[in-house]
Amino acid sequence: MNRLFILFFTCILNISMRAQQIAKADAINSLEIILSHHTLVNPADDVYDDSWDHTKVNCYKSLLPEKNYLIDIRDFCMPIKKNNIIVTSKYGYRKSFKRNHHGIDLKAYIGDTIYATFSGKIRISNYERNGYGHYIVVRHFNGLETIYGHLSRRLVKENEYVYAGQPIGLAGNTGRSTGPHLHLETRFCGISINPTKIFNFEYQDVTDDKYIFK
């Protein structure tokens, strides 16, 4: 009986590993195809008017996005790979801090691997003592930007291309943080969007093939 269980478990593990390898290969191939046909200097430059800043999360305050912009969110990866992804702090106004929470907090332990949600290019990889701590900003080819905050370690550098599912950092408790977690933001032209409008964390999927920014 034990032999059968071990054999069954080994088969399931091999299938899972194979699926992950295929997904990684597909993501890398997708990025290579994008880059081979990509004539702009940076992702979504047609949307961002050549803005490429390494110091500010929102450096687009004078940029007025179109009223409706269709964002393709099909080729994605969850920022944390766990069986159960838990949102510990929601998006929106925080009465206790009297300020807006421009993202959500996901349960994570120090050292947990953090992954790029979509393919793109690293715009910021920096440290902010009284805010994000170690944090990363990725601009994606679909026009979104994602921010990963309070990391213990950054694994990528500015101007580096990354594919969806590539490890970019390790979760931590740096900056203005009260405990280990991942602070995740999704933005378009600097305007924050509730990440739960993009990702369904319960089912570890996206909410739709496209997201319409209004």
Q: How far apart are CA 91 and CA 96, in angstroms?
A: 14
Please tell us whether the domain made up of 45-213 is placed in CATH 2.70.70.10.
yes
Show me where the domains of the chain are located: 1-37, 45-213
Per-residue pLDDT, 187: 97
Contact 166, 118 (CB under 8 A): no
pTM of the model: 0.84
Bridging pattern class, strands 191-193 and 181-188 = antiparallel
Q: Please give the span between the terminal C-alpha atoms of the chain, in angstroms, as a whole number.
A: 57
Per-residue pLDDT, 9: 44
Q: How far is CA 161 from CA 27, 49, 96, 175, 203, in A?
A: 12, 19, 38, 25, 28
Q: How far apart are CA 177 and CA 174, in angstroms?
A: 6
The rounded average pLDDT for each run of 10 residues, N- to C-terminus, in the chain (214 residues) is 53 50 60 60 89 94 82 97 94 73 95 98 96 97 97 98 97 95 97 96 96 94
Q: How far apart are CA 143 and CA 48, in angstroms?
A: 8
